[in-house]
Amino acid sequence: MKSEKPTTSNEIRQAFLDFFNEVGHEVVASAPLPQHDNPTLLFTNAGMN
């Protein structure tokens, strides 16, 4: 049995991005959902009805 170093979350993320880049998708930088200077609360009521 071969012992390998565990895969890190960063390695998994990079493999995912590399794959989609290779098949023609554009990789863009991550961004937060709420704006930095917006004091309102982002609230989603999905599943609460």
- What is the pLDDT, as a whole number, of residue 48? 67
- What is the pLDDT, as a whole number, of residue 45? 66
Backbone angles phi, psi at 22, to 5 degrees: -65, -30
Whether the CB-CB separation of 8 and 14 falls below 8 Å is answered with no
Q: Residue range 5-13: average pLDDT?
A: 89
Measured at the CA of 13, the angle between CA 7 and CA 16, to 5 degrees, comes to 110
Q: Is residue 47 one of the residues assigned to a domain?
A: yes
Please tell me the distance from the alpha carbon of residue 40 to that of residue 34, in angstroms, as a whole number: 9
Q: Is residue 41 one of the residues assigned to a domain?
A: yes
Per-residue pLDDT tens over the stretch 13-49: 999 999 999 999 999 998 877 777 777 766 666 666 6
**The amino acid at 11:** E
Which two three-digit tokens encode residue 34? 């709420």
Quote the number of domains for the chain: 1
Whether the CB-CB separation of 33 and 42 falls below 8 Å is answered with yes
Q: Is residue 15 one of the residues assigned to a domain?
A: yes
- What is the pLDDT, as a whole number, of residue 5? 78
Q: Is residue 37 one of the residues assigned to a domain?
A: yes
- What is the pLDDT, as a whole number, of residue 44? 66
On whether the pTM is more than 0.85, the answer is: no
- Residue range of the domain that includes 41: 7-49
